[in-house]
Amino acid sequence: MKKIGIVLLLCLSVFIKNVWAEELAPNSESAILLEVSTGKILYEKDADKKLAPASMTKVMSMLLIMEAIDSGKLSFEDEVVISDNASSMGGSQIFLQTGEKYKVSELLKGIAVASGNDAVVAMAEKVSGSVSAFVEAMNKKASSLGLKNTHFVNPHGLEAENHYTTARDMSVMARELLKHERILEYTSLYEDYLKKPDGSSVWLVNTNRLVRFYEGVDGLKTGFTNQAGYCITTTAKRGDMRLLSVVMNAETSDLRSKDTVSMLNYGFNTYKLDVLLSKDSELGETKIEKGNVLITKLYPEQDVTILKKASDEAINYDYNLVVNKLEVPIKSGEVVGYLEVLDEQDNVLKEVNVITKEEIKKASLWQLGSRLFDMITSGLPI
């Protein structure tokens, strides 16, 4: 009887889980919801099923573009000459013509807002020299992120054999893109204009209608092909909490929005985020042997946050700072240790990397000699 009871309980738990999944995203073949700062998954439905992503592919394309900009390889003000290949792209486009010149910022807006296939091909050629080299970089980036169920054939998402991803992998890419916060300046636009070299303008309207109609939504990317159905990767922020959702293969754009709203409502109504420390909070100091500075301040690499149910009682947190043995030179932003967040029973709830924000070089012989002299004259032990 005890065994039968256990089996019934297990069956009941599976049944409840499946009902819950159907209630939150009944119109999508696959879906996932997570909180961005912690990465905690709040809901999923067949999140590892390989499906065509359509124009959600451009999340990875925008990630490579933003990485090129942040690394200094590319600038928002750089000019891009439109090739025959770019101008000939079908599907959603912003009507670029061969030989026209646009700034990177303008093409990025065309990708983020209007899902321009011509714009993303032009940027792929600018970043990597060719579309094939850019696609190779896309797959290399996917591999570096640990995405084992993703493979790209093009940078735009038009139907192609062996071009696929999953809701879970899509959420990882999107979360990585959100580290480049300036992308939200583009994805949050509901409408804008692209001024063409001949003086005319193209009206750009965001394919993500939730940007206008759901509080807090400021990205990220829609998608549709006959093969992929209606897809959308969405992010929304209310207060300190940012959620990220993915739905794949809904039958209509209204149904993909309905499932997205259902998941976001669930996340915002059920959970809350405690921001314990900001990334600008000073955690302490540490000495640097043989550095051009003797002491450097320590900071968390990112905001220190804890996600919990809105109904949970308040918790008193404690911290344990662990600093590595440091050797110069040290780069600005280099990880030099970690911070443990502890609950009232001293259980480790999470770990956050600790960094220094200044560049520290080797001390010169003059600096070392001067310090030695100060120690001698001060009577300090050598």
Q: What is the Cα–Cα distance from 370 to 308, expressed in whole angstroms? A: 52
For the chain, give every domain's residue range. 28-272, 278-377
Single out the catalytic residue among 28, 55, 61, 92: 55
In which band, very low, low, confident or very high, does the pLDDT at 7 lie, cut at 50, 70 and 90? Answer: very low
Pairing of strands 348-355, 318-323: unpaired
Does the active-site annotation cover 115?
yes
Tell me the fold of 278-377. Peptidoglycan synthesis regulatory factor (PBP3), Domain 2 (2.60.410)
Q: What is the pLDDT of residues 124-158, one digit of tens each?
A: 999 999 999 999 999 999 999 999 999 999 999 99
Does the active-site annotation cover 364?
no
Query: Mean pLDDT over residues 288-293, rounded?
Result: 84
Does the active-site annotation cover 201?
no
Q: What is the pLDDT of residues 38-57, one digit of tens each?
A: 999 999 999 999 999 999 99
Q: From residue 2, give the alpha-carbon distance in Å to each of 8, 9, 11, 13, 15.
A: 10, 11, 14, 17, 20
In which band, very low, low, confident or very high, does the pLDDT at 19 lie, cut at 50, 70 and 90? Answer: very low
* pLDDT greater than 90 at residue 31: yes
DSSP state of 197: T
Rounded to the nearest integer, the mean pLDDT of the chain is 91
Q: What is the Cα–Cα distance from 318 to 338, expressed in whole angstroms? A: 14
* pLDDT greater than 50 at residue 238: yes
Q: What is the pLDDT of residues 314-371, one digit of tens each?
A: 889 999 999 998 888 999 999 999 999 999 899 999 999 999 999 998 878 777 677 6
Single out the catalytic residue among 28, 61, 115, 245: 115
The angle at the Cα of 265, spanning 304 to 55, to the nearest 5 degrees, equals 85
pTM for the full predicted model: 0.86
Q: What is the Cα–Cα distance from 187 to 204, expressed in whole angstroms? A: 12
Single out the catalytic residue among 45, 58, 141, 221: 58
Which tokens in the block code for residue 225? Answer: 């092909």
User: Which CATH class for the 28-272 domain?
Assistant: alpha beta
Q: How many CB atoms lie within 10 A of CB 285?
A: 13
Helix (H, G, I), strand (E, B), or coil: what is residue 366?
helix
- Residue 263, Cα to own-chain centre: how many angstroms? 18
Q: What is the pLDDT of residues 361-381, one digit of tens each?
A: 887 877 767 766 766 777 656
DSSP state of 96: -
The one-letter code for the residue type at 352 is V
Nearest to 183 by CA among 277, 112, 98: 112
